[in-house]
Chains A and B, each alone.
Chain A
Amino acid sequence: MTSDWGFAHDLDDISGQVAIAGVGEADHTKASGRTAAEIAGQAVERALADAGLEPGDVDGIMHVPMLADRFDAAAFRDHFGTSHEMWESDRGGGMVWAGTAPYEAAQALRDGKATCIVNAFAVAWATQRGSMVGGPGQSHAQELAKQNLEVPFGWFPQPVYFATIARRHMHQYGTTQEQLGAVAVTLRRHANLTPAAVMRDRPLSLEQYLASPTIVDPFRKEDCCLISDGGGAYVMTSADRARDLRSQPIDVAGVGLGSSRTGTYWAQQGAFCSTPQAFAAPGGFAMAGISPADVDVLACYDPFTIHSIMQVEDMGFCQKGDGGPFAEAGSLAFDSGVLPYNTHGGLLSHAYVLGIAHVVEVVRQLRGECGDRQVPDAEIGVYGGYTGPQASTLVLRKG
């Protein structure tokens, strides 16, 4: 397959300009009755406590571009009872932006627009599920080309697209059901070692996975992300200032961003079984001056098992097409010594908070705070963000 189906974005070198000084997660739950703003507020409170900062110290807030109940400056002031001015940006939040928010933050810090920036993201989709069209597929159902040329044929929503992609991957590369299952089982094991994970008390064996009914061939429900209420936040400041704060700072060493030319029209994507990580990861690694072999812990946006396999391939951790055998060999386990991956359980078994908790987990791994699932001596960690049309690669390094 030629590489003209997408492209890498040209990013300035921001290596060493930003540090993550604090992280926090809201409670991850099934339907909670809370609003996304309440949930985000809780995550921000915890991130500020982790950094040893007060709400009034925060002079920048980043939130997601596409969801209505974003945690913007007004929501921040409302939650914390402050009235101070804040720089704000809608180029933050979860998904791909959980990986690129530090790039935007670096520019704001450089330009003196802010000195301490929080990126926050939360969803209450478990609570809101009944009122959404196709659940998280709602925004796709509202996109007119998809609404008129895909939905009427039942090629909707995300589980259907990505099952179609998974089947083609199986055909093209020999990926097996057991290999998809290996991803689900490994991530569930990680969640079982993570006190905050929604699935912490629910073990999953490969036998149980294979016995689970197929809902959209080849996916069982265990191949699909959870629907949960929850959120997360992280605090960014200059690397120098972060050294003076309460928690061990984690430096942003590199950022990469890649795009597909066909957007959310996966049906028309040239490299059907690839993700834009193929364009994002090389840039992120180059900015950080590392190669895939240097990565101690990886967390990728993993809405379906096939996304873990595709991104591990596309980021260069194995050859294209070898992601299935790589997972089946146990390489993704936190104690594999190969590529500890989604050590909190990911979107499949930790919480469906769209990647923000992945960044939190990588930071905690690099600080050595992960208890029973701690990766020994982790110094370099990577978040692979994804929205479909875009992917991001965020390289973090122990400060």
Chain B
Amino acid sequence: MRDDFPLPDTDWEPAREFWAGAARHELLIPRCDTCAAYCWYPRPTCRQCKGESFTWTPMSGRATLFSWTVVRHAFLKQFADEVPYATGLAALDEDPSVRLATRLVDCDLSALTFEQPLEVAYRDLAFPGIERTVTAPFFRPR
């Protein structure tokens, strides 16, 4: 495992544009140049049409809360300072079948609701003992 696990490897080619976009506070998702379908997670060929060319496309950052959980036990020691935290899936307005795994912030953990409107909120991922930080798209209620 990388020394800076559980930070993402922002040089991992399939998602490099995603993390580069997040650093600029842009939410980018690959869109098939042939059939215009959003393809998430990134993959070499389009799930819909087998197209092989994609354009990383800016999203509005608006989403709805598909599902989530409040994590009270640190399954990874690096999250010991984070618990309890809410993590779940944000379904993007542009295509709700695209679900981003994310953290839910600026909210009362007990007041989240299904299909709740969300908006992206950029936060730095930082873990104890790791100097590097990475800007990442979290979501908050809107």
Contact surface of A with B, Cβ cutoff 8 Å: 133-135, 137, 141-142, 144-145, 147-157, 159-160, 163-165, 167-168, 171, 213-218, 261, 265, 267-268, 270, 272
Contact = CB atoms under 8 A, between A and B. Distances in A.
Nearest to A217: B70
Nearest to A152: B8
Given A164-B68, A216-B69, 17 more contacts: A148-B15, A151-B5, A151-B8, A153-B138, A154-B76, A154-B79, A154-B85, A154-B103, A155-B88, A168-B66, A168-B67, A214-B70, A216-B71, A216-B73, A217-B70, A265-B41, A267-B100
Contact of B89 (A156, A171, A267): A267
B94 interface: no
B69 A163 contact: yes
A191 to B, nearest CB: 23
B35 interface: no
A127 B84 CA distance: 28
A215 B83 CA distance: 10
A171 B67 CA distance: 9
Given A133-B76, A153-B103, A164-B88, A148 B69 contact: no
B57 interface: no
A164 B69 contact: yes
Contacts of A272: 66-67
B91 to A, nearest CB: 10
A164 B69 CA distance: 5
Contact of A217 (B6, B69, B89): B69
A147 B88 CA distance: 16
A156 B88 CA distance: 10
Interface string B43-78: 000010000000000000000001111111101100
A152 B15 contact: no
B75 A151 contact: no
A150 B101 contact: yes
Contacts of B85: 154
Contacts of A155: 87-89, 101-102
Contacts of B68: 164, 167
B49 to A, nearest CB: 14
Contact of A268 (B40, B70, B114): B40
Given A157-B75, A268-B40, A145 B14 contact: yes
B28 interface: no
Contact of A156 (B14, B40, B76, B114): B76
A189 B40 CA distance: 43
B134 interface: yes
Contacts of A137: 75
A165 B69 CA distance: 9
A151 B15 CA distance: 14
B107 to A, nearest CB: 14
Q: How large is the interface on B (under 10, 10 to 19, 20 to 34, 35 or more residues)?
A: 35 or more
Interface in B1-32: 1, 5-9, 12, 14-15, 18
B140 interface: no
A133 B73 CA distance: 15
Contacts of B102: 153, 155
A272 B5 CA distance: 28
B97 interface: yes
Contacts of A213: 72
Contacts of A148: 8-9, 12, 15
Contacts of B41: 145, 149, 265, 268
A217 B6 CA distance: 22
Contacts of B101: 149-150, 153, 155, 267
B67 to A, nearest CB: 4
B118 interface: no
A98 B73 CA distance: 31
Interface hub of A145, A148, A261 (most chain B Cβ within 10 A): A148
B1 to A, nearest CB: 6
Contacts of A154: 71, 76, 79, 82, 85, 87, 103
Contacts of B42: 145
Given A133-B76, A154-B103, A267-B101, A160 B87 contact: yes
B134 A152 contact: yes
Interface string B91-112: 0000001111111000000000
Contacts of A144: 9, 12, 14
B136 interface: yes
B72 A217 contact: yes
Contacts of B82: 154
B12 A164 contact: no
A153 B69 contact: no
Nearest to A263: B41
Interface hub of B41, B100, B134 (most chain A Cβ within 10 A): B41
- 10 nearest CB pairs, A to B: A168-B67, A163-B69, A155-B101, A215-B73, A148-B8, A217-B70, A150-B101, A154-B87, A151-B6, A145-B41
Contacts of A152: 6-8, 125, 134, 136
